[in-house]
Structure 1
Amino acid sequence: MPKGTTQTILIVDDSPENLAVLSELLQPLYRVLVATSGQRALEMVAKQPHPDLILLDVMMPGMDGYQVFERLRADPVTRPIPVIFVTAMDSMESELHGLDVGAVDYITKPILPPIILARIRTQLELKQARDWLRDENSYLEAEIAKRMSENELIQKVSIRALAHLAETRDPETGNHILRTQGYVQHLALALQNHPRFASILTDHYIELLTRSAPLHDIGKVGIPDAILQKPGKLTAEEWIVMKTHAKLGSDAIEMAERDATREVEFLVLAKEIAHWHHEKWDGSGYPDALVGDAIPVSARIMALADVFDALISRRVYKEPMAIDQVKAIIAEGRGLHFDPDMTDAFLADFGVFGDIAACHLDSGVE
């Protein structure tokens, strides 16, 4: 093998004379392996490193060249290796058949050294180009995946930071954003195969919905402390101000959307949730008194999650309710506050939502 040669050629031929001629021709330029049967060739190809090119005789006893080629193509590992048929059959039909099955070239015996060397060099150069392109594509795909992963992380951290910013204005909520995020994800998955929601609740939608959920109360940053942190019941005037947090939140998200050069999918859902998660199925909610299916699916799911968490949590103005009482209130809200089918799914998995809450207890709560 010549110094510095890295390219390997496997010659497959049952004739020792043919092997000797081809080996003598190629060894000054390439690393040469030989096999005297199709079965032996397959055994050699299965080992690392794989040959860069195979010169394959067609007419061999036992397993002929076409059968060997078929086995090579059936294996994803050996499929990319280029194969040149070398045969004494010089009919046009034989050559067309060899090329039709997928060989890169077809050379008839007796061989002409300059011709076979030129064709081998061409195929090896093409293979090098394909390998380079494949490696380059693999690198680019890995780099894109890395950048996307980094962007996903930045987005998630930014969302959580914004949600915690709102939380600092309303410290009683504690781990509320983590709990509601968990409720939203589980409820959406539970509804995924429901005929009313299957077309909407795709895996992608649920991922975006879960990511968006922490921003549902972002508008509370615009509510005065005297109202937001009041330990007692709000007056009618204060309640009017408090209810503006829904639109304040959606307006803030809409302003962020305007700054983006293209649509940001999760912001669409975040805006829906912020604006309409206080709407009620019967139209008695706020800010727009929407009724039934006019309320976006995202906001309907968030409504159940938000109310459930408010009922089970301690606030400056109330103690947490007993879990049986909470379940009864959710059930009473079916068809009034909440989407009936969503309520049924929530109640069916009620224990799971309790488990999610237990994973994210507020500080000091046992």
Structure 2
Amino acid sequence: MPDEFTPTILIVDDAPENLAVLSELLQPLYRVRVANSGPKALRIAATLPCPDLILLDVMMPEMDGYQAFEHLRKDPATAYIPVIFVTAMDNTESELRGLEMGALDYIAKPIIPTVLLSRVRTHLELKRARDWLREQNSYLEAEVSNRITESELIQEVSIRALAHLAEIRDPETGNHILRTQHYVQKLAQELRALPRFAEILTDHYIQILARSAPLHDIGKVGIPDCILQKPGPLTPEEWAVMKTHAYLGSEAIETAERDASLKVEFLALAKEIAHWHHEKWDGSGYPDGLKGDAIPVSARVMALADVFDALISRRVYKNPMPLEEVQRILLAGRGQHFDPDMVDMFLAHFDAFCDIHERHRDPEPD
């Protein structure tokens, strides 16, 4: 007797005697549902329990079997239900048409019971195998997605942890790494509208860029406290030491790259940012005196974000600058310190960058 695990077969035929014959043949082994027209078959096929197999007559009034089959395939709820055409049209052309449309099989009337039962059993077994594979693929896709999400989370946490090492040694920066990360992401998204940046600033690149940004000052862990935490101006000798943090940061990241068994994409951008975010558009920056487009896009974006945050934020040695003064300094750096297009885009969205600063403002000092 059929039970809840028994496959369901939908028989579609406009002739009552054919429905009766097929039902009598199949009911001892399967759960059987019947429809005497194409439209009714479509309604039944889309309701639970969905058929595991459809035996579909071709020659029917109102909607023939081919038309019904096309409707079944267009509906996502019924698209994967296997269909066997059953018809008195015993000719090669009709058979080819049904198979070309995507039917699994084609059985001619009059029905030979043994043949029909064998075909039905075979296609139900194939369906079970396909369903199992589909479930396994869905499970594997979900598992891969979870692993990727977990890996990305571990990456972000590790990056933040490393960045905070530098922040702990230079406590005045506060939420600097968080703010600059958001500045970088926002600026890169806006720059994508410009043809000269459209090719490089893809969604994926911007995602990796924002993830890498917190490591821009990781090299400061190698700067002595007496220089890093000095409240007053640095001497020329001290400033020379301070500038080495760009090289120290890129060297540390490069060492991590060499130790990794596989290429880690974000490390390449993090190394660019750490090494060259103090370069200037006119070539007067450090450590390599790069000029113009020779400076990687990632480092140019970071340079502007870094300077903006330094100007607008409170430091031990200064109060935050008025917004008008910040704008004036950025504009003065256009074509000298910064990429001109980046300054124009930054100032065009200046309020948005100020909003980011407000959302991640440092706590007021006691």
Corresponding residue SS for 2:54: strand
1:243-282 matched pairs, under 5 angstroms: 243-282=243-282
The answer to whether the aligner puts 1:139 opposite 2:139 as a matched pair is: yes
Q: Residues of 1 paired with 2:5 and 2:317: CA distance? A: 81
Distance 2:4 2:196 in 1: 67
- Name the structure 1 match of 2:232: 232
Partner of 2:164: 164
Classify the secondary structure of the residue corresponding to 1:32.
Answer: strand
1:336 pairs with 2:333: no
- Residue of structure 2 equivalent to 1:285: 285
| Structure 2 CA distance for aligned equivalents of residues 122 and 175 of structure 1 | 65
CA shift for structure 1 position 365: 6.1
Aligned ranges 1:41-56 → 2 under 5 Å: 41-56=41-56
Which range moves more in the overlay, 201-210 or 257-266? 257-266
- Per the TM alignment, residue 4 of structure 1 is displaced from its structure 2 partner at its CA by 5.7
CA offset digits 1:186-217 (Å, max 9, x no partner): 11011012111111100100000000000000
Partner of 1:103 in structure 2? 103
In structure 2, what is the equivalent of residue 86 of structure 1? Answer: 86
Structure 1 window deviating more from structure 2 (266-275 vs 34-43): it is 34-43
C-alpha offsets along residues 323-347 of structure 1, whole Å, 9 cap, x if unaligned? 1111100000000000011011111
* TM-score, scaled to structure 1: 0.98
**2:327 aligns to what SS in structure 1?**
helix
Question: Partners of 1:92 and 1:262 in 2: how far apart?
Answer: 56
CA change 1:256–1:5 in 2 (3 A) is: closer
Cα 1:33/1:362, change in 2 over 3 Å: same
Aligned to 1:121: 121
Please report how far the alpha carbon of residue 317 of structure 1 lies from its aligned counterpart in structure 2 after TM superposition: 2.1
Mean CA deviation greater in 211-220 or 311-320: 311-320
Contact 1:5 1:29 in 2 (8 A): no
Q: Is the Cα–Cα contact under 8 Å of residues 184 and 210 in structure 1 kept in the other structure?
A: yes
AA in 2 matched with 1:348: A
1:123 maps to amino acid? H
Q: CA RMSD in A?
A: 1.2
Identical columns (%): 73
Q: Distance in 2 between matches of 1:5 and 1:197?
A: 58
1:8 touches 1:53 (CA, 8 Å); kept in 2?
Answer: yes
Report the alpha carbon displacement of residue 155 of structure 1 after superposing the two structures with TM: 0.5
Partner secondary structure for residue 123 of structure 1: helix
How far apart in 2 are the matches of 1:340 and 1:238? 31
**Residue 172 of structure 2 corresponds to residue 155 of structure 1:** no
- Superposed displacement of residue 315, structure 1: 1.7
Deviates more, 1:168-177 or 1:97-106: 97-106
Paired residue for 1:301? 301
- Note the alpha carbon deviations across 1:291-343, whole angstroms, 9 max, x for none: 11110000000000001111112222222211111110000000000001101
Q: Could you tell me how far apart the structure 1 residues matched to 2:158 and 2:5 are? A: 53
Aligned-pair distance for 1:100? 1.7
- State the Cα deviation string for residues 37-89 of structure 1 (Å, max 9, x = none): 11111111111221000001111122111111111112122111111111111
Deviation sequence 1:91-110 (CA, Å, 0-9, x none): 12222222122111111111
Structure 1 pair 358/5, CA: closer, same or farther in 2 (3 Å)?
closer
Which amino acid in 2 is paired with 1:120?
V
Which amino acid counterpart does residue 88 of structure 2 have in structure 1?
A: A
State the alpha-carbon separation in 1 of the partners of residues 4 and 267 from structure 2.
57
The residue aligned with 1:60 is 60
Equivalent residues of 1:25, 1:113 under 8 A apart: yes
Moved more, 244-253 or 348-357: 348-357
For residue 163 of structure 1, what is the amino acid of its counterpart? A
CA contact (8 A) 1:254 1:271 kept: yes
Flag the 1:3–1:358 CA change in 2: closer, same or farther, 3 A.
closer
Give the equivalent residue in structure 2 for 1:11. Answer: 11
- SS across alignment from 1:34: strand
Task: Report the secondary structure of 2:198's partner residue.
Answer: coil
Which residue in the other structure is 2:187 paired with?
Answer: 187
Conserved in 2, the CA contact under 8 Å of 1:82 and 1:103? yes
Corresponding residue for 1:212?
Answer: 212
Question: Structure 2: how far apart are the matches of 1:239 and 1:93?
Answer: 86
SS at match of 1:60: coil
In structure 2, C-alpha distance between the alignment counterparts of 1:140 and 1:192, rounded to whole Å: 35
SS of equivalent to 2:316: coil
Q: Secondary structure at the match of 1:196?
A: helix
Q: Is contact 1:5-1:30 (8 Å) kept?
A: no
Code of the aligned partner of 1:246: A
SS in 2 for 1:42: helix
For residues 109 and 5 of structure 1, the distance between their equivalents in structure 2, rounded to whole angstroms, comes to 30
The two structures have a TM-score, normalised by structure 2, of 0.98
Q: Per-residue deviation at 1:364? A: 1.1
Give secondary structure in 2 for the equivalent of 1:10.
Answer: strand
What is the alpha-carbon distance in structure 1 between the residues aligned to residue 284 and residue 4 of structure 2? 81
AA matched with 2:68: V
The one-letter code sitting in structure 2 at the alignment partner of 1:324 is E
